[in-house]
Amino acid sequence: MSGAFFRVDKFVVPAAAREEFLVKVMMTHKLLEAQEGFIDHRVLEQVAGPGEFNFVTIAEWENTEVVERARATVAAAHKAANFDPQEMFARLGIRADIASYKPVAA
């Protein structure tokens, strides 16, 4: 898929897990920033409203092809750091909704 591409991840993070979660998210986003095709990212924390997800991360990429290369690089870095995101989610009681999005044409 060509054109702008977004990875939007939403998380339910228990209060006791907040600090560890954010350390790992920031570590991962530092890796993303260095990847070819990376445009921008945001880490958002809910401050009001009835929504279920209290954290949202949004990463913007040039296209899907660069995302696939970045995903492999991040997976290798996580493995080298002995970090398993799924294990952390299970251990800390974090639930995630992870998806990719494209802009809607007007």
* Non-local CB neighbours of 105 within 8 Å, separated by 6+ positions: none
Residue 2 has pLDDT above 80, yes or no: no
Percentage of residues in the chain having pLDDT higher than 90: 84
Residue 94 has pLDDT above 70, yes or no: yes
The kind and range of the H/E element at 84 are none
Residue 84 has pLDDT above 90, yes or no: yes
pTM for the model stands at 0.90
Strand, coil or helix: what is 106? coil
Taking the C-alpha atoms of residue 12 and residue 3, their distance in angstroms, rounded to an integer, is 30
Q: Residue for token digits 């007007």?
A: 106
pLDDT for the residue numbered 106: 73
State which amino acid sits at residue 86: Q
Q: Which two tokens stand for residue 36?
A: 């070819």
